[in-house]
Amino acid sequence: MKTTARASAYTALNLLFFALAGTALLAWTYDLTHETIARSEENEKLKLIAQIAPPATYDNDIMRDTVQLAADKLLGGNGTTLVYRGRLNNQPSIAVLQVIAPDGYSGRINLIIAIHSDGSIGGVRVVSHKETPGLGDYIEITRSNWITGFNGASLENRKNDEWKVKKDGGSFDYMAGATITPRVIVKAVHKALQYHAQHRDELFADTGEQRAAPVPEQKLHVPPPSAKEK
Amino acid sequence: MAYQGIKDIFYNGLWKQNPGIAQLLGLCPLLAISNTVVNALSLGLATTLVMTLSGSGVAAMREWIPNEARIPIYVLLIAVLVTVVQLLMNAYVHSLYLVLGIFIPLIVTNCIILARAESFASKNGILASALDGIAMGLGLTAVLVVLGGIREVFGYGTLLSGIDLVFGETAKSLVITVVPNYHGFLLAILPPGAFIALGLLIALKNWLNLRAERKAHGANATVAPVEGGCSTAH
């Protein structure tokens, strides 16, 4: 009896040791890499912004003309997000919102959405996601042009019940094999347009927060907003 | 390690115990994704990488792992190892990560990885286990690529579509359009197509084995049928 107990305790301790060592190794690697990863994601995002907010639509420095937005359930996330604001001749022309679709097939899908001041979509891009490779990843612009189906859509030219995938009776395409993914993206884009409609004027109002911190000279690079969020 | 040993490892991985058409372990996620050659190849290579790492990792630790708790420890070891590699890839070789990295979470707790840890790496040295991982991975890659090729031709009418994601924009000219203006065949793209095509591949392997057996032992020879393994919760 005693030896059984000892053997069990030994096994349990051993398991505990492996669990602790594994956790420590993971934590250390995360600590080592998370800044580099955040930076490369930031760079990817800036490239995507350039795709959906074409230079002709604004003449200001859109990457610097930013403001923090308070969390809103229409934006999907729990933290503040940065909005990039484009102006043409000092008139608001385009806003790039960062939105989260929280209910993807495998977790959150981070999106950026450019909305013209008339309320129509300039473009949508997926910044990061964990959808099934080969099935749900057609939402990436590099894999298919599905995401460009949002271009030009607005609350005016698509009625409320059209903001669904075709399978559910809406007007947006989807691909067989993965319908949850496009469904939640359509929902998130719809909500972002509603947010834009409600806050159109506030988005471009100059608040004290804007340009609070002078940014060192750097081309096409802003400090990662995550630093402020945390 | 003796030459014969290495030869056996590769013969087992590539043909006799091929994970794709003989062991049939942990195939569900793999089958779902093998709808084009490029997807299949990326997935196969990621699996090879993970199996090589997990095999040598388990082999290195096998002296310290108590027999009663070995399975949870293997799972833990493999998950930690692969997550670390995934993070490092994401941080330092981002372009490679974009191609292969996304497949890694899909295969990390896959049944075949655990099966090789249990049946090979726990009983063999680090080098042999790493080689076993490579051989099994390449065997699986070969099957997936054939499967991906069959499904892509029938499903999309092309071959190698999406290769520009792996080798850059210049590789786009490598895409072969087998059937121009093809309207697509949904069954081949969806998972059932994978099972049907895999069934045919297994039948082909059994037929080849039977033929070889008949040549060696005369007309009455039989071949043991393939037996399936475990399934993963997907």
Which of A11, A22, A32 minimises the CB distance to B76? A22
Whether A210 and chain B come into contact, CB under 8 Å, resolves to no
Contact B84 A18 (CB under 8 A): no
Q: Which of residues 35-94 of A touch B (CB under 8 A)?
A: 36-37, 40
Contact A134 B43 (CB under 8 A): yes
Which residues make Cβ contacts (< 8 Å) with residue B39, sequence separation at least 6? Answer: A133, A134, B33, B148, B162
* Residue A210 vs residue B55, higher pLDDT: B55
What is the mean pLDDT of the segment spanning A50-79? Answer: 84
Give CA–CA dist B157/B178, Å, rounded.
Answer: 5
Contact B88 A29 (CB under 8 A): yes
- Kindly report the nearest CA distance between residue B159 and chain A, in angstroms: 15
Contact A18 B73 (CB under 8 A): yes
* Residue A70 vs residue B165, higher pLDDT: A70
Could you read off the pLDDT of B85-99 as tens digits, one per residue? 888 888 887 777 877
Q: Tell which residue, A90, A117, A121, A95, has the closest CA to residue A186.
A: A121
Residue spans of the domains in chain B: they are 3-217
What is the mean pLDDT of the segment spanning A14-26? Answer: 92
Strand ranges of the sheet holding A121-128, from the earlier edge strand across to the other edge? A66-69, A81-88, A91-104, A107-116, A121-128
Check if the interface score ipTM surpasses 0.85: no
What is the mean pLDDT of the segment spanning A175-203? Answer: 89
pLDDT-derived band at A50 (thresholds 50, 70, 90) equals confident
pLDDT for residue A10: 86
Which of A7, A25, A32 minimises the CB distance to B80? A25
Mutate to test the interface with A, among B31, B75, B80, B85 (most CBs of A within 10 A): B80
pLDDT for residue B222: 60
Q: Which residue of A lies nearest to B69 if distances are taken between CA atoms?
A: A11
B81 pLDDT more than 80: yes
- Kindly report the nearest CA distance between residue A18 and chain B, in angstroms: 7
Q: Are A128 and B101 in contact (CB under 8 A)?
A: no
Which of A18, A33, A177 minimises the CB distance to B190? A177
Return the bridge partners of A91, or none: A88
pLDDT for residue A22: 92
CA torsion sign, B74 to B80 to B84 to B86?
positive
Residues of A with Cβ-Cβ distance to B68 under 8 angstroms: 7, 11
**Residue A215 in 3-state DSSP?**
coil
Whether A128 and chain B come into contact, CB under 8 Å, resolves to no
Radius of gyration (C-alpha) of chain B in whole angstroms: 19
Contact A37 B87 (CB under 8 A): yes
**Residue A62 in 3-state DSSP?**
coil
| Averaged confidence pLDDT in chain A | 82
Other C-beta atoms lying within 10 Å of the C-beta of residue B91: 20
pLDDT-derived band at B109 (thresholds 50, 70, 90) equals low
Q: Are A123 and A148 in contact (CB under 8 A)?
A: yes
In the structure encoding, which two tokens stand for residue B222, read together?
A: 């039989």
Q: Residue A213 burial (CB < 10 Å; 0-12/13-18/19+)?
A: exposed
Least confident of A100-104, A122-126, A142-146: A142-146
pLDDT for residue A222: 44
Q: Which residue of B lies nearest to A29 if distances are taken between CA atoms?
A: B84
